[in-house]
A and B are shown apart, each in its own frame.
Chain A
């Protein structure tokens, strides 16, 4: 069965610190997709990144970077030089490939609340 685990429920850091949010997933499928979303206090869910299971390249986008390791079933998210505006709940999510016309759902982790203090 699909499952996404975000063991860190809350993290508090001081501005300019680096912080890593952990995500561990379970799936029996060989083709799957991983996502990170940000939910700021205003409530909207913002898509950050998608990673395919066959692409283990890490990715960097500004202060954000993602480390995908199939060997450990992890897809961790690092924010470098954190800022107060990074304060939000961050969700990791998993989707399996849909075959035979089946629609597949997005399985969310429980989220990590990141609080960046000035």
Chain B
């Protein structure tokens, strides 16, 4: 499976600031996704990162808060904007090659704490 590198692995940020998380894959992939995992919770899909076009956001998530870029088939970024303590979570990038019957593979995640 693809090797997924996510940076930073963790960060502590001040309220009101923004942080951009990068996801780099070692091969071209069809689909890239961004998830949030709040402390002790399951994973929730934020959006599907579409190559060359605007991301597709899930209900409850908006572009102004979580802008996403995907300039090519191996790279995507997620920005968490105007952060508040409620944004403290693990943010995970995942990739999938091909059809929905294929598994998603995940990066190691970014542990974000907001003071």
Q: Hey, which bits of chain A sit against chain B, CB under 8 A?
A: 33, 35, 37, 42-45, 47, 50, 52, 91, 95-98, 103-106, 108-111
Tally B residues with Cβ within 8 Å of A: 26
Which B-chain residue is minimally distant from A53 (CB atoms)?
B101
Do residues A43 and B111 form an inter-chain contact, with CB atoms below 8 A? Answer: yes
> In whole angstroms, how far apart are the Cα atoms of A109 and B41 in the complex?
10
Residues of A close to B94: CB separation below 8 A: 45, 106
Do residues B92 and A45 form an inter-chain contact, with CB atoms below 8 A? Answer: yes
Do residues B42 and A108 form an inter-chain contact, with CB atoms below 8 A? Answer: yes
Rank and list the top 9 A-B pairs by shortest CB-CB distance, nearest first. Answer: A45-B106, A98-B100, A47-B103, A108-B42, A44-B108, A108-B43, A105-B45, A110-B42, A33-B101
Smallest beta-carbon distance B99→chain A, Å: 7
> In whole angstroms, how far apart are the Cα atoms of A39 and B54 in the complex?
30
Smallest beta-carbon distance B25→chain A, Å: 15
Which A-chain residue is minimally distant from B103 (CB atoms)?
A47
- Mask, B76-111, CB within 8 Å of A = 1, is 000000000000001010100001111111111101
Can you list 15 A-B pairs with a CB-CB distance of less than 8 A?
A33-B100, A43-B111, A44-B106, A45-B92, A45-B94, A52-B101, A91-B43, A96-B100, A105-B33, A105-B45, A105-B48, A106-B45, A108-B42, A108-B43, A108-B44
Smallest beta-carbon distance B10→chain A, Å: 10
